[in-house]
């Protein structure tokens, strides 16, 4: 059996598309959700703070693979709700968003808490409300500070999509494995590596541009 490069690329490409969608949904939903969790984590309300702290602790303390299985099989095995085959895609999105939001929350917190108290005091003197202070003064600076860390997470995310097959979602690495075993060749793995690398190269490039663009005070 000889490996046809064209077919390999198209198969990996279609898998990459699945990976890409997981990537997009996760980022779009977990970035705002992470901010909400970060607020909870820094809240003066002890109950809220404890809950979010426990949430972050569990999400970071258990493997994403386990969380995906729990989100997918949990409804049936815990609540006895029958799950439809299409649910696996929803489950992947939910699992990734919940997990990544926890990490993003801590990144936001590190950024927000690094801001000097003097800025809040100055804003208060100038008559800014709490919300105004946060959205006009604090957040724009926080975003600049945390961007390199965010880039780290984003790059990890695309590689983590390979975990989706644990609940039967055929993303790129699954296709690479299938091609490899069907043809008894390691070429598809090499191809998969190139796909991941190129994608992450683009991500890193875009993030670097963004960092430069936000660097307007220096």
What is the closest distance, in whole angstroms, from the C-beta atom of residue 139 to other proteins in the complex?
7
Q: Which residue in the set 86, 116, 118, 127 belongs to the binding site for other proteins (CB under 8 A)?
A: 86
What is the closest distance, in whole angstroms, from the C-beta atom of residue 154 to other proteins in the complex?
13
What is the closest distance, in whole angstroms, from the C-beta atom of residue 130 to other proteins in the complex?
16
What string marks each residue from 137 to 166 as x (binds other proteins by CB under 8 A) or -?
--xx--x---------------------xx
What is the closest distance, in whole angstroms, from the C-beta atom of residue 184 to other proteins in the complex?
4
* CA proximity to 164, closest of 33, 23, 55, 62: 23
Residue span binding other proteins (CB under 8 A) among the ranges 22-30, 43-51, 53-61, 154-162:
22-30
171-200 positions binding other proteins, by CB under 8 A: 174-175, 177-184, 186
Q: Which is nearer to other proteins, 86 or 118 (CB)?
A: 86
Q: For the CA atoms of 27, 157, 21, 102, what is the dihedral angle to 10 degrees?
A: -40
Q: Is 96 among the residues that bind other proteins (CB under 8 A)?
A: no
Helix (H), strand (E), coil (C) string for the chain? CCCCHHHHHHHHHHHHHHHHHHHHHHHHHHHHHHHHHHHHHCCCCHHHHHHHHHHHHHHHHCCHHHHHHHHHHHHHHHHCCCCCCCHHHHHHHHHHHHHHHHHHHHHHHHHHHCCCHHHHHHHHHCCCCHHHHHHHHHHHHHHHHHHHHHHHHHHHHHHHHHHHHHHCCCCHHHHHHHHHHHHCCCHHHHHHHHHHHHHHHHHHHHHHHHHHHCCCCC
Q: Is 167 among the residues that bind other proteins (CB under 8 A)?
A: yes
Q: Which is nearer to other proteins, 32 or 201 (CB)?
A: 32
Q: Which residues bind other proteins (CB under 8 A)?
A: 1-4, 7-8, 10-11, 25, 28-29, 31-33, 69, 73, 76-77, 82-90, 93, 135-136, 139-140, 143, 165-168, 170, 174-175, 177-184, 186, 214
């Amino acid at each position: 059996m000889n490996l046809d490069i064209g077919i390999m690329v198209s198969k990996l490409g279609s898998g990459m598309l699945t990976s890409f969608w997981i990537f997009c949904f996760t980022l779009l939903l977990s970035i705002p959700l992470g901010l909400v969790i970060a607020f909870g984590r820094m809240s003066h309300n002890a109950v809220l703070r404890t809950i979010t702290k426990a949430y972050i602790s569990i999400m970071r303390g258990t493997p994403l693979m386990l969380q995906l299985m729990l989100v997918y099989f949990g409804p049936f095995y815990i609540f006895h709700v029958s799950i439809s085959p299409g649910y696996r895609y929803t489950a992947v999105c939910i699992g990734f968003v919940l997990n990544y939001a926890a990490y993003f929350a801590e990144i936001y917190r590190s950024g927000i808490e690094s801001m000097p108290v003097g800025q809040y005091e100055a804003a208060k003197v100038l008559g800014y409300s709490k919300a105004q202070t946060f959205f006009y003064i604090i957040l724009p600076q926080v975003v600049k500070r945390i961007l390199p860390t965010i880039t780290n997470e984003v790059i990890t995310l695309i590689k983590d999509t390979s975990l989706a097959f644990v609940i039967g979602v055929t993303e790129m690495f699954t296709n690479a494995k299938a091609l490899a075993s069907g043809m008894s060749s390691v070429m598809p793995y090499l191809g998969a590596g190139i796909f991941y690398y190129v994608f992450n190269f683009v991500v890193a490039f875009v993030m670097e541009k963004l960092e430069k663009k936000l660097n307007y005070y220096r």
